[in-house]
Structure formats: C-alpha cells, structure tokens
Amino acid sequence: MGSTTKFVNEFCDIIDSYGGRDKVMKALCYSAKLVAGYHAKRNPDLAKRYAIASSKISGARATLRLIDDIPMIQYALEYGLGQDEPDRIMAMLGVTANVVDLLYYPIEKICWLSEHKIVDVKHADQWDNVNSIFWVLSVYLNLMRTLRNFWLNQEKLNRSHQLSSPTNIDAKSLAKHRLELMSVVRISLDFVHAVSTLPKGYLWGGKLSTFQVGSIGTLSACLGIYQIFAKRRLNK
C-alpha cells in the first residue's frame, strides 16, 4: 500500500509540471494511435474511435506548445554561445539547435492557425512541409548533442576506470550515463517518427503505417516517463 501511495504521489508531481504532463499526454496520444493502427482492418469502427482520440490529444499538445517560444527565447539568451559546454562541438550544436528551435515555433504557430482556419494561409501544405523539415532538424540536432554528451561521459568513465578500480566509480555517475544512453534511444525513435512526416520521396517520409508510428511514439513516451521517475530518484 505504501509503495502504491508513493508511486501515485510521484506521478501526481510529474503531471503537475508541463514537461511531465506532456510526456503522459504523448503516451496517451500514441497508444491510442497504436490501437487504431492495430484494429484498422480488424475493427474499423473501433480504430476510427481511437484515431479520433489520438487526434484530439495531439491537438491539445499542439495548442499547449503555442507559448513554448517564450521560455525558448529565455533559454537561448541564457545559453548564449555555449560558454559552459565541455567543448566547441557541443557549443556549436547547442547554438545551431537553438536557432532552429527559435524558427520552428513560429512556423508551427502558422500551421496551427491555418489548421483551425483562424488565419487564411496561402500554400498551407507547403507550410506543413516546412514545419516537418524544421521538426526533423530540431530532433536531429538534439540527437547529435545527446550522442556527443554520451561519448564525452563515456571517455570520462573510461579514464576513471583506468585510474581506479571499477568499484570506486561513482554509482550515481554510472546511473546517469545509462539514462543518457536511454535518451539516445528515445531521441532516435523521435527522429524516425519525425522523418516519417516528411513528404513522400524524402528518406522514409510517408512510409510508416499508423501502427508503426503508434508503436514508435508509445515507446518513446514510455522511455521519457521512466527517465523522469529515474532522475527524480537519482536526485534524492
């Protein structure tokens, strides 16, 4: 009973934050899409219901992102030219990622306004394609930063291993390194998904089925939720 109460309390703390709530909404969105894809031919009526649920949740997430550019601008100003990064490559990737994200959010707003017919946007399909391209770039740069950070941490652990016995290596550092590896897997899944939204003819754009997209999105969201729980316990 005590462990259940602890889990519920932790879960409530997580969904009380924007990032945690978005991860849970993402899990619900893509698990519904997964069910819709699975039942597409078995039970079309049920598949349609879950597809509608997935679409509505996705729309809610997009609406909540409308003000994301405000904290993004603050983060970019605080980040500057990446003076606090461990090397120039990380700084270069960080600055580039910030520029891409600062351009991505206004484009997403234009697409949202067009989708809801609030503003008459010419060539709306082209704006959607541009939006997908910037999403792919954003995820790709985030993946490169995470891979670079993972490699730098691996080098640091290897040096520690050479200087002392494996038992002396900080267990917390090892746990954080494993979480970083999980981030690589999660963002790789997000990249596969992002590329699938590109127009047909670009890499694997438009080639993934609803079931495949649902599976990738659900797994990514579940990994993200697990990481939030794990990081909270590491920081205690």
pLDDT digits (tens, 9 = 90+) for 137-162: 999 999 999 999 999 988 888 887 66
Domain interval for residue 195: 19-235
Is 4 a member of any domain? no
Task: Give tens-digit pLDDT for 99-129.
Answer: 999 999 999 999 999 999 999 988 899 999 9
- Tally the domains of the chain: 1
SS3 string of the chain? CHHHHHHHHHHHHHHCCHHHHHHHHHHHHHHHHHHHHHCCCCCHHHHHHHHHHHHHHHHHHHHHHHHCHHHHHHHHHHHCCCCCCCCHHHHHHHHHHHHHHHHHHHHHHHHHHHHCCCCCCCCHHHHHHHHHHHHHHHHHHHHHHHHHHHHHHHHHHHHHHHHCCHHHCCHHHHHHHHHHHHHHHHHHHHHHHHHHCCCCCCCCCCCCCHHHHHHHHHHHHHHHHHHHHHHHHHCC
What pTM did the predictor assign? 0.90
